[in-house]
Each structure stands twice: as C-alpha cells, then as structure tokens.
Structure 1
Amino acid sequence: MDTQSAQQRTPWGMISLVYLGGVVAAMSLGKFAPVGPAVTAELGLSLSQLGWVISTVVGVGAAVGLPFGYLIRRYGSERSLVAGLVLIAVASAAGAGADGYAWLLAARAVEGVGYLLVTIACPALILRLACERDRGTALSIWATFVAVGLGASTLAGGVIGAALGWRGWIGILAGLTLVMALVAQARLPRGSARQPVAGPLPRARALAWPGGLAAAFCLAALVTIPVVVLLPTLLVEQFGHSAASAGAVSSVISLLSALGGVAVGMLLRRGLSVGVLALAGLPTLPAAWLMFGGEGSPQAALAGAAVISIANGFLGALVFAALPLVLERLDHADVGNGIVAQAGSLGSLLGPPLFGLVAEGPGLPALVPVISVGIVASVGALLLVGRKAARTLPSS
C-alpha cells in the first residue's frame, strides 16, 4: 500500500530540476539585454542588427516548432533537454568569442535550436513526471520560466557585465548552462522518460484542439509581450524617466508575469475550469486604455502594464495547463508542445514590429483596439477549448 502511494506522488524535486533547466535556457534568451550597448559599441552593430541578434532565438521556434515536436517524440524528452542545454552552452561560448555580426548571428541561430529543444522537452517531461491531480499546477508553474529567466539574466548580466565585460558575462552563462546539462544528464530518470515514445503518431485531427490552444497562445503573446518591450520607450519619451530608471521598472513589470502562472496553478487545484479561468484575460482591455488611451499619468501607465504582464503569464500558464486535457493521448505531448511553442514564438516575434508600426503610424492610442481584438480572440479560443476540456483537475 505504501509503495503504491509513493508511486502516485509527484516527484517535485525532479520537476524543479526540469524547471531550472528552462530558467537557465531563458537566461540565454535574454542575455544581450543588459549588455546590448557594450556589444554594439565593440562590434560596431546597428540597433537593427542587435535586434536580430536578440530575436533570432525566437525566430527558430517560430519556423520549426512543430517539426521539432516530432523529433523530440522520436528521441525522447530527457535526451532532448540535455542536448538542448549542451547546444546553448556551446553556442554561447562561441558567441563570447564573436568578432562580428555574422558570427554572432550564427551562434544565436544554434542557440535557437537548443532553446527550442528545451522548451518543447521540458513541459512534455513534466507532464509525464507529475501525477494527474498535479499536472495543471506543475505545467502552470513551468510557464513562468521565461519571466524568471529573463529577470535573472537582466539582474545578473548587469552586474557581471559591468565587472567582466559582455564576453565575460556570456562565458559565465555558457558555463552555467553546461553545468545544468550535466546535472540533468545525471539526475533525470533513466528508462521510460529517456526512451523514444512508443505508440502511433498523432494525426491531424488529433492536433485540432492543441492547435486551438496554440492559436490562443499566439494571440496573447502577440499583444501582451510587446507592451513590456515598449514600456521603457514610453516611460522615457512620455514621462521623462531616465534610461536606467525605465529599464529597472520594466524588469520588475516583466517579472510580474510569473504571478499569473502561479495563480493558474492555485486556481486549477481548487477545481476551476479552463473556460472560467480564461475570462481572467479580459482585464487587459481597461489596462490597455490606461497605458495608451490618452495623456494619463505614469502611475496609470505602470498599473496598466502590470495588469497586462500578469495577464500574459496567466494566459500562457493556462495554455500549458490545459494541454493535457485536450490531448487524445499523453504521449502526444511532445508534438502538442511543439505546436504551442511554435505559435508562442510566432506571436513573440511578430508582436514588437507590429506595435512599432502602429505606434509610428496612427499613434499609441491605436494600440488599444489592437490589444483588445487580440485578447478577445485569445479568450474566445480558450473558451472553446474549455468546452472540450470538460473535466477539471481534482481539487485539493
């Protein structure tokens, strides 16, 4: 009886290790943000070129997320996680020695492959490790990895970059990522989690509902992530903040998205349905007006940005938590996560330039209807998926 009970417990220590792997990967995603001026000055990059260096990692996911889901299904989630971390570490080390734009961009493309492996493998592995009642909670916590990783990268990169230069910062992060890969290799379970997944490949019909979740994720990312990207510019140009002050405030606002992910886990454990939780995205509408609707105060703009950041984390976590509820089989998780990763990357990639075009054209107030349409469509897609996911997780 005790053995059976133990087998039904969720190995939270193992899941924490998987989560840390995602956080370390996300630190590499944002590693150039705190040292961007130093990189552009030393390598003679334009701001546009620096933008491509930063976004190339996400671009890889936007292009090949679904095919990589099938690849990870074949070779196993644990192997793919370790391989992804090793790729990030090697590419980071190569980037630390870059002498120009082409070299740096190529290194970032390889990092993008590693990052994609990690971001598809980790939630699939968490889904298999967690027992049924804890899956939603575990996956919603997983969804906070980007916010935590970017926040840690911003804080650590600023300090280490100032002391050792941008190459020193990137080299240290490469070493940390390699250590994480070795720990994952040694500690993650061998056996079924390491072996390629058995069972039939999911057909197109089996991916329809995961595709609905992916569409919701893409739309939410498209209209919420650029808000944090634009926030420093808004604070400097509209409200007279210094660049340092605007950057610090924006980092805090970005970290608030992790609160949304934690909230989803708590609410799912209380038995609330996906459809009900989806409605929590709607406060984004008045928040968008607070930010861009007129000549408001900086306090109002920051309040609006905070609500939008939390909603971004909440909706993203809800997508990950709902995925196992709409899969035909749990061993379709790799492919399902591939669709979700590709959609989220696509929204993250296209959102900032879209917002830039709108802001430079009709002006900042025109962003209010853009955000409103995107959020309403995202919430609508989640409501449809919620009808499919008729059951909820058991309450505590």
Structure 2
Amino acid sequence: MTIFVIYLAGVAASMSLGKFSSVGPQMTAQLGLSLTQLGWVISAVVALGAVAGLPAGYLVRRFGAARSLVVALVLMVAASALSAAAGDFAWLLASRVAESAGYLLVSITCPALILRLAHARDRGVALSIWATFVPVGIGLSTLAGGAVGAALGWRGWVLLIAGSTLVMTLVVRARLPWTSAPETAAGSVPGARALAWPALLTVAFCLMVLVTIPVIVLLPTLLIEQYERSATVAGALTSVISLLGVPGGLAAGLLLRRGVPLGVLAASGLLVVPAAWLTYAGGGSLAAAVTGAGVISLENGLLGALVFAALPHVLERLDHADVGNGLVTQMGSLGSLLGPPLFGLVAGASGYGAAVPVIVAGMVASVGLLLLVARHVSGRARRVTPDAA
C-alpha cells in the first residue's frame, strides 16, 4: 500500500508536467504567448532536473527520501498556486522553474523509496510500474484539463492541480516514516569510469524523451489548430494516447521477466520512425495523426521502463543506484526540457511536417545506443554465468 501511495505522488507531480498542454491555446490567447514560449512553459518544470539531477541525488541521501518527498510536494503546491496568478511569460516561466525543484526531488525520491520498500523479487516489476507515472499523469491532466479549463479557465484548472497535490502531500506525510536521522550512502562514490555505461544508457534515454514527449504534450495544440477540434475533444484524445505509455511500460517489465532480450525491445523503438510520419506528414488525416501519436506514446512507455529496468545491470555495484538514478533523472529532464520548445520552434518556422526528420534522427541515435548497452549487458551476463555454474 505504501508503494502505491508513492506511485500516486509521482502521478500527482507528473500531472503538473502536462497541466498546460490542454489549455495551451487559451493561455496563448490571454497572455500573448508564441508556440515556442508555450513549449518553454510546458517543459520548464524539468529545468532544474536537466542541470542538477546528480547533485540532487546526493542531497536526498543526506536529508532522507521521505522527508525530501514531502518537501518536494509542498514546493510544487506553492509554485503551482503562484503560476495561476501569472500575468505574463516571465512570471509564468519563473514559477515553473520553482516548480521544477519539487518535480526533480519527486523524480529521485520516489524510485529510491520503491527500491527500499519492495521485495527483491518484485523490484523489477515495481520499477516498471513506476516508469508509467509520467504517461498516467499527463493522461489524467490532459483528459481533465480540457473540460475543466473550458469551465473554470486555465487559472482555475491550475489551482485545482495545486489543491490535488496538497491532498497528496498530506497522504504521503501520514503514510511514510518520518525520521530525523539522515540517510548515509553505503560504499564508495562511483567515479567517471564506473558511470560510463550508465551514462551511455541515459544519453539514449535523453534522446528518446527529446523526440517523443513533445509529440504528446503538444498534441492538443496540433489537434486544435490543424484539425479544428475543441479543447475538450483534443484533451480527451491526448489523454487516451498518453495512457498508451502505461501498457508499454508494463509490457517491458513482463517481457524482460520472460527472457526477451534487451536488444529486441530496444529495436522496437524504430517503430517511432513511421509513426512520426503518420502524425505529422500523413496527408492531413486525423486518424493517421492519432494512430502515429499512439505508437509513439506506446514506445515512450516501453523504452522508458526499459531504461529503469536496465540501469541495475550497467552499474558496477548496486549501491551506486542512487547516483545512477540521479543521472537518469538529469538526462530525462534534459530531453523533456529541450523537446517541446525545439518542436515549437521547428513547427512555428516550417510547419509540423518539419518535425519528422528531427524525430527520425533522434530515435535512430537512441536505439543505436540502447543496442550497444544491450550488447554490454549480454556480454556481462555471459561472463558471470560460468562462474555461477
């Protein structure tokens, strides 16, 4: 039950990641934002994670994961409430950067707590489920945001998100143990050589996020502007598509547990290439755009879970997991930060079709790196097996 509460805390935080997606056109009209500025507002919630994920991991170890999680949620509540009062781009962006500090801590503390609380045999499945927190949060926020935004305005919707996060904060505070003793790390701190393969894995993660997350978070704007759908309909469609990342993440955990090679699952990421063409250059068909975005969302969930599941296999020691998780958070945040404004810039300058080669290049590079990691993991397993025998 406690692990489920931790998961819900992650979902509440990721709802803030996508809370502006379904009300984007309303915000741009009221505040005079460009598509590129909207992209920055959406992605700025991961700003600090893009530059401070690794240092934040050490801070969490010093002050305790449970304590850090509660502080993170409180910070997100305050920053979200402030963003509801924004009158221009600068104010909105500043509040999102503040919110990013809380989101960063949530991203590090939740998987750390899950690793500590889950039984050894269940950790892989638990982490695969954890990896779905972003598509679930974005799906819920885009589903509700369109309808609530139409009824209460975008400011009312943001305040509702702040209130729901406050409720989650109280639940987490009541459920998790609260100790005054700091958590100290066991073993030596990993050096650059020990982090070489984890770094390669997380660069692949960064590239994957860079070219898949923008497709999902900017989809409501595409549906409204290109296909003339209402905000409510666009939000509902985006919610369904975002939630496809959940079965993708769960499938990764299940297939790995059944012995499907890491490389086979990594290669499935190449399905994003034709899916990108369907989404942005499929001849103007709504069905094609929705189908393509759905495949991209599914692969986003599957590959994201694959990274979390593969991380323990590329670490030299399991007690390096906190540092590795900080690296995963930092590189994933970097992709989430740069992706939406990059796509906004490309689409604003040359149309949505120009995003296709960007997606293709990023995804092919990501899959290539994942295949290198898969080869390393396979070779490492072959070296260990004879010794075990």
Q: Give the TM-score band, short-chain normalised.
A: 0.7 to 0.9
The alpha-carbon distance between structure 1 residues 192 and 122, as it changes in their structure 2 partners (threshold 3 A), is farther
Match among 33, 39, 61 for residue 46 of structure 1: 33
The answer to whether 1:270 aligns with 2:288 is: no
The alpha-carbon distance between structure 1 residues 221 and 46, as it changes in their structure 2 partners (threshold 3 A), is same
Check conservation: 2:76, 2:102, Cα contact below 8 A.
Answer: yes
Q: Distance in 2 between matches of 1:386 and 1:58?
A: 28
Q: Distance in 1 between matches of 2:340 and 2:40?
A: 12
| Residue aligning to 1:153 | 141
The alpha-carbon distance between structure 1 residues 105 and 371, as it changes in their structure 2 partners (threshold 3 A), is closer
Deviates more, 1:150-159 or 1:77-86: 150-159
The answer to whether 1:254 aligns with 2:207 is: no
Q: Tell me the matched-pair count.
A: 379
Match among 274, 279, 287 for residue 291 of structure 1: 279
The alpha-carbon distance between structure 1 residues 294 and 87, as it changes in their structure 2 partners (threshold 3 A), is closer
TM-score between both structures, scaled by the size of structure 2: 0.86
The alpha-carbon distance between structure 1 residues 127 and 193, as it changes in their structure 2 partners (threshold 3 A), is farther
Check conservation: 2:17, 2:45, Cα contact below 8 A.
Answer: yes
Q: Deviations over 1:284-329 (max 9, x none)?
A: 2222233345526332332222111111111111111111222223
| Residue aligning to 2:100 | 112
Determine helix, strand or coil for the equivalent of 1:89. Answer: helix
Q: Distance in 2 between matches of 1:327 and 1:100?
A: 45
Q: Distance in 1 between matches of 2:118 and 2:347?
A: 44
Determine helix, strand or coil for the equivalent of 2:189. Answer: coil
Q: Deviations over 1:176-217 (max 9, x none)?
A: 323322322332245799723333222112211211111111
TM-score between both structures, scaled by the size of structure 1: 0.84
Match among 191, 194, 199 for residue 206 of structure 1: 194
The answer to whether 1:309 aligns with 2:297 is: yes
Check conservation: 2:144, 2:235, Cα contact below 8 A.
Answer: no
Deviates more, 1:216-225 or 1:331-340: 331-340
Q: Distance in 1 between matches of 2:177 and 2:376?
A: 32
Check conservation: 1:76, 1:197, Cα contact below 8 A.
Answer: no
Alpha-carbon distance, 1:340 to partner: 1.1
Q: Distance in 2 between matches of 1:193 and 1:370?
A: 48
Match among 137, 142, 149 for residue 125 of structure 2: 137
Any stretches of 5+ residues in structure 1 without a counterpart?
Answer: 1-12
Determine helix, strand or coil for the equivalent of 2:194. Answer: helix
Any stretches of 5+ residues in structure 2 without a counterpart?
Answer: 383-389
Deviates more, 1:19-28 or 1:96-105: 96-105
Deviates more, 1:340-349 or 1:154-163: 154-163
Q: Distance in 1 between matches of 2:26 and 2:65?
A: 37
Check conservation: 1:120, 1:338, Cα contact below 8 A.
Answer: yes
Check conservation: 1:121, 1:334, Cα contact below 8 A.
Answer: no
Task: Give aligned-pair identity as a percent.
Answer: 65
The alpha-carbon distance between structure 1 residues 75 and 327, as it changes in their structure 2 partners (threshold 3 A), is farther
Q: Distance in 2 between matches of 1:192 and 1:277?
A: 43
The answer to whether 1:319 aligns with 2:307 is: yes
Alpha-carbon distance, 1:109 to partner: 1.7
The alpha-carbon distance between structure 1 residues 384 and 134, as it changes in their structure 2 partners (threshold 3 A), is farther
Match among 62, 68, 93 for residue 50 of structure 2: 62
Deviates more, 1:311-320 or 1:163-172: 163-172
Determine helix, strand or coil for the equivalent of 1:251. Answer: helix
The answer to whether 1:226 aligns with 2:199 is: no
The alpha-carbon distance between structure 1 residues 238 and 191, as it changes in their structure 2 partners (threshold 3 A), is closer
Alpha-carbon distance, 1:83 to partner: 1.5
Q: Distance in 2 between matches of 1:175 and 1:364?
A: 35
Q: Distance in 2 between matches of 1:249 and 1:307?
A: 14
Match among 53, 75, 84 for residue 87 of structure 1: 75
Over aligned residues, Cα RMSD in angstroms? 2.9
Alpha-carbon distance, 1:381 to partner: 1.4
Alpha-carbon distance, 1:40 to partner: 5.3
